[in-house]
Amino acid sequence: MIWAVVVLSGLVALVGCLLEVGPEWACSAGAVVVATAYSWALAVRTGGRPIVAGGLALALGLTAVISDDDALRTGAAVLTCVVAAVFAVMATVPAVRFAAAVREVVVAVVLAGVGSLAVVGFEPVVQVVRFEYATLGLSLLGVFAIVYRLGAGLHGLGRRGVVIVLIGTGVLALTLAYAELLRRYGTPGLVTNLLDVVRWSRDNLGAFPRPLETVLGIPALAWGVHMRARRRQGWWVCAFGVAATAPVANALVNPAVTLTESVLSVTYGAVVGLVIGFVVIRLDLAFTGPRGRRGRRAEEAGALRPEPRRTRALL
């Protein structure tokens, strides 16, 4: 597949730059290639105009690189991060069983991880917290705009979907608000205790999982692809998966965190998040699905809601 070859070539250039092997322009070239390929693929997946999207991404990327302007490079990095985060969610397919849901989570995390290399390939000049908030917010707006069409609008939610969206929004708001309040106004004792846990994890495990990815993003993605095999509302759950893919896509912009720690942090968050997702899926099936092993097998056999293949347009 030509697209895969293009992405692989960009990835090779980015990895070579990361390892300080190859020419100096490899970082910029790899970033432009990956950003263009991801924009093209996202347009294809969402029924847009890939030539327009890919051409625009290529033009913006080349302009940022050739001009070597910090503002343009940072803007290109933001757009690349958002496209990578949204595309990683859109590239998933329905999962009848939990094992398939794990596969889809891995696919999304890997795609977002490649995007993170492209983000730093543009060499943005950022304030880390602002960059993380901006990319997360734009990713949420982008994915919900797409899911609004895929989920047949708000009237396609149903009572169950409304409850899910409200819960997801509440968890997102509480997690972000708690982190911000703790950072700004937390009592010294509470902050010290929490930081002790983080330090212990970093000293003994090499990293600490990112809370938003672990608590919301990965569980939502796993549950969402599982639900999509059964109900259209599953797309609304998947939308909260950008709470995982956006942090993964911007994971490398913090210069205080090493590449190894970033990889371990994402991995730990994915593992713990999948455990949470498994529990949520089992609870969902316990309340809505048939009882017993035979009942579960019959339910899985009937979970055949069709969707286009991963490389085809959803709309």
Helices (H), the chain: 2-18, 26-45, 50-67, 70-90, 98-121, 128-150, 158-185, 188-205, 211-212, 218-228, 234-239, 242-249, 259-288, 292-302
How many C-beta atoms surround the C-beta of residue 7 within 10 A?
A: 21
- Which range (142-146, 197-201, 211-215, 282-286) has the least confidence? 197-201
Per-residue confidence (pLDDT) for residue 186, from 0 to 100 = 47
> Domain map of the chain by residue range?
2-302
Q: What is the Cα–Cα distance from 78 to 250, expressed in whole angstroms?
A: 9
Structure tokens at 104: 């889809």
Confidence of residue 105 (pLDDT cuts 50, 70, 90): very high
**Gap between the Cα atoms of 56 and 200, Å rounded:** 46
Rounded CA gap, 33 and 117, in Å?
A: 11
Q: How far, in Å, CA of 87 to CA of 245, rounded?
A: 9
CA dist 222 to 104, 264, 266, 280, Å?
7, 20, 15, 9
Higher-confidence residue of 230 and 157: namely 230
Give the percent of the chain with pLDDT over 70.
84
Q: Are 133 and 183 in contact (CB under 8 A)?
A: no
pLDDT in tens, 14-53: 998 888 787 888 899 999 999 999 999 999 999 889 999 9
Q: Virtual CA dihedral for 132, 222, 90, 250, nearest 10 degrees? A: 20
pLDDT score recorded for residue 292: 59
Residue 39 one-letter amino acid: S
CA 115 to chain centre: 10
Q: Which percentage of the chain shows pLDDT scores above 90?
A: 51
* Ranges 157-161, 181-185, 271-275: which has the least confidence: 181-185
